[in-house]
Amino acid sequence: MAEKAESLNIIRKVSHWINGQIHESDSDRYGEVFDSATGEQCAEVVMANEADVNIAIQSAQDAFLRWSRTPVLKRARVMFRFKELIERDRKEIAVLLTQEHGKVLHDAHGSIQRGLEVVEFACGIPHLIKGEYSDQVGTGVDTYSMRQPMGVCVGITPFNFPAMVPLWMFPIAIACGNTFILKPSEKDPSCSLKWAELMQEAGLPAGVLNVVQGDHVAVNSLLTDPRIMAVSFVGSTPVAEHVYQTASEHGKRVQALGGAKNHLVVLPDADMDQAADALIGAAYGSAGERCMAISAVVTVGDSAEPLLEKLVPRIEALKVGPGTDNNNDMGPMITAEHRDKVRSYIDLGEEEGATLIIDGRNHGVTKSSGYFLGPTLFDYATPDMRVYKEEIFGPVLTISRVDTFDDAIKLINNHEYGNGTAIFTRDGDAAREFASGIQVGMVGINVPIPVPLAFHSFGGWRRSL
Ligand code: NAD
């Protein structure tokens, strides 16, 4: 049954969360947050100034002294309670995600689940951070190592997973005894406050988790402040590179995950129904706004025609509409600006000479006031075309045709991004060779979006990390 997002008549104000409460900022800069399915403004977000960031850092630094000495079992118990509270409120959170991001409710629930799994992992922190001990490494000398918290850590997160990506970061950092400042995307900021409130309800002391809302002003203050020890960033590659360079120049430990262009190889022996079904979810789910979305198919030999025969009717049958209706497969884009950018890539692909098979610009849903585009498919995309090379981050899939398996490997290995990839084949030898020869971080064999679970690491290669 479809859950309906409640229609809010007042514009919510989304502020910072510092030292266990909403922090009233004197900043005069605000951002607009939209219900992407209707185009109406649903919230305004306060953009932090340097003074706000300074207060948040001081609060996190003061809290570190006590939190880092809190027994690890007590820190783990906060995570157990946090997990229960997410389960209690997950419907409400999913509605919030659907309203601000636009993803269909079932997809919103899925993203909460994947974040929840990281919280479950963090519940095991007493075992995970045990150190090592070697007895008698020299006569009368023992050696031990221990894992110690670093101090104040920062997480800067993208718009496309406003619940899950913050949950990749702060539960682990905090369970390890660090304190944390989250700077979520200004495009869908509300979930960050929900996380802060639930962590407090779970028993987290004030100051251990803080949230500053905003844009590059907040980010740059965080990256250069000497009290920050470590930075975790997830977002587009140009910003990831800026964050990595600035924060490391300022002596911080930095992990920066960037953008992607993920290829899916179809060999002639593949189960074409399976490959087409996989592509529907992987290319068009969440309107293509996923760093692990498949945006480039590589057909080998004569596999293009049988794949197209299965794929085209499935794309034409996709239901596009508001994410509040769980019968829809695909919702809107995040903003009008982003929708226009994705649309301009369809114009570009045509100009560059790719063959447009399905044109999302003409889909009936584009007549609504929300930020919709229909699913789009190009054939004959070549490596020199921008529509193939660049991350579009929307419901646009390209097909590139190559002659051999080796050509497919070469094409993928030459791409500047290397986040995820997949192959569809029934040939075990080809699958094994693909898995070992491909230079990409996460690899799927007959699995379209090879996202590891919380107890494995996640990350791409080349400009994706
Ligand atoms: P973005 O890079 O525009 O923004 C990410 C964060 O950086 C936001 O919090 C934003 O406020 C901040 N930011 C933006 N511009 C900045 C600047 N000039 N200086 C400092 N901070 C700045 O990314 P987005 O559009 O929110 O998210 C989509 C991108 O994220 C895509 O490229 C996608 O592939 C990537 N992504 C990657 C992963 C991954 O795990 N590799 C996961 C999710 C999303």
Query: Containing H/E element for 355?
Result: strand 355-358
Q: 397 near 293, Cβ under 8 Å?
A: no
Please state the three-class secondary structure of 418-443 as a single string: ECEEEEECCCHHHHHHHHHHCCCCEE
Q: Which tokens sit at 462?
A: 């080349």
pLDDT value, residue 2: 36
53-72 in b/e form (b: 16+ CB < 10 A) is bebbbbbbbebbeebbeeeb
Mutating to test ligand 1, I would choose from 157, 182, 185 the residue with most ligand atoms within 8 A of its C-beta, which is 185
Query: Which residues make Cβ contacts (< 8 Å) with residue 92, sequence separation at least 6?
Result: none
d(Cα 153, Cα 170) in Å, to the nearest integer? Answer: 9
| Tokens of residue 137, six digits | 């490494």
Tokens 């905090």, located at residue: 174
Neighbouring CB atoms inside 10 A of 185's CB total 27
Cα(237) to centroid(ligand 1), Å: 8
In the reported structure, the alpha carbon of residue 293 is separated from the centroid of ligand 1 by a whole-number distance in angstroms of 15
| 51 CB-near residues (< 8 Å, 6+ apart) | 25, 26
Hey, what are 457's tokens? Answer: 């690491």
Over its length of 465 residues, how does the chain's per-residue pLDDT go in tens digits? 334 344 445 788 999 999 999 999 889 999 999 999 999 999 999 999 999 999 999 999 999 999 999 999 999 999 999 999 999 999 999 999 999 999 999 999 999 999 999 999 999 999 999 999 999 999 999 999 999 999 999 999 999 999 999 999 999 999 999 999 999 999 999 999 999 999 999 999 999 999 999 999 999 999 999 999 999 999 999 999 999 999 999 999 999 999 999 999 999 999 999 999 999 999 999 999 999 999 999 999 999 999 999 999 999 999 999 999 999 999 999 999 999 999 999 999 999 999 999 999 999 989 999 999 999 999 999 999 999 999 999 999 999 999 999 999 999 999 999 999 999 999 999 999 999 999 999 999 999 988 999 999 899 999 999
Cα distances from 445 to residues 268, 278, 282, 408, 429, in angstroms, run 15, 12, 14, 15, 12
Indicate whether this model's pTM tops 0.85: yes
Please state the atom number of ligand 1 nearest to the C-alpha of residue 237.
32
Q: What is the per-residue pLDDT across 190-226, written as a single tens digit (0 to 9) for each? A: 999 999 999 999 999 999 999 999 999 999 999 999 9
Listed residue (110, 109, 123) closest to 73, CA to CA: 123
At 449 the pLDDT is: 87
Name all residues whose Cβ lies below 6 A of ligand 1. Answer: 156-161, 165, 183, 185-186, 215-216, 219, 234-236, 239, 242, 257-260, 291, 391, 393, 419, 460, 464
Number of Cβ within 10 Å of residue 178's Cβ equals 22
Between the alpha carbon of residue 250 and those of residues 53, 182, 226, 256, 411, the distances in Å are 17, 19, 7, 15, 37
Phi, psi of 110 (to 5 degrees): -60, -40
CA 120 / ligand 1 centre spacing (Å): 26
Ligand 1 atom nearest residue 183's Cα: 9
Distance of alpha carbon 18 from alpha carbon 212, whole angstroms: 8
Q: Report the nearest-CA residue for atom 26 of ligand 1.
A: 158
On the CB side of 387, CA atoms within 13 Å amount to: 29
Using the atom order of ligand 1, give the atom closest to the CA of residue 236.
32
- Residue 439 has which token pair? 């230079």
164-175 vs 190-201: helix crossing angle, rounded to 10? 30
Q: How far apart are CA 9 and CA 277, in angstroms?
A: 39
Placement of tokens 């008698």 in the chain: 136
Q: Write the pLDDT tens digit of every residue in 102-122.
A: 999 999 999 999 999 999 999
Catalytic sites, residue numbers = 291
Q: For residue 296, how far is the Cα from the chain centroid?
A: 19
pLDDT for 154 equals 98
How many Å lie between the centroid of ligand 1 and the Cα of residue 290? Answer: 11
Query: Which pair of structure tokens corresponds to residue 397?
Result: 């899939």
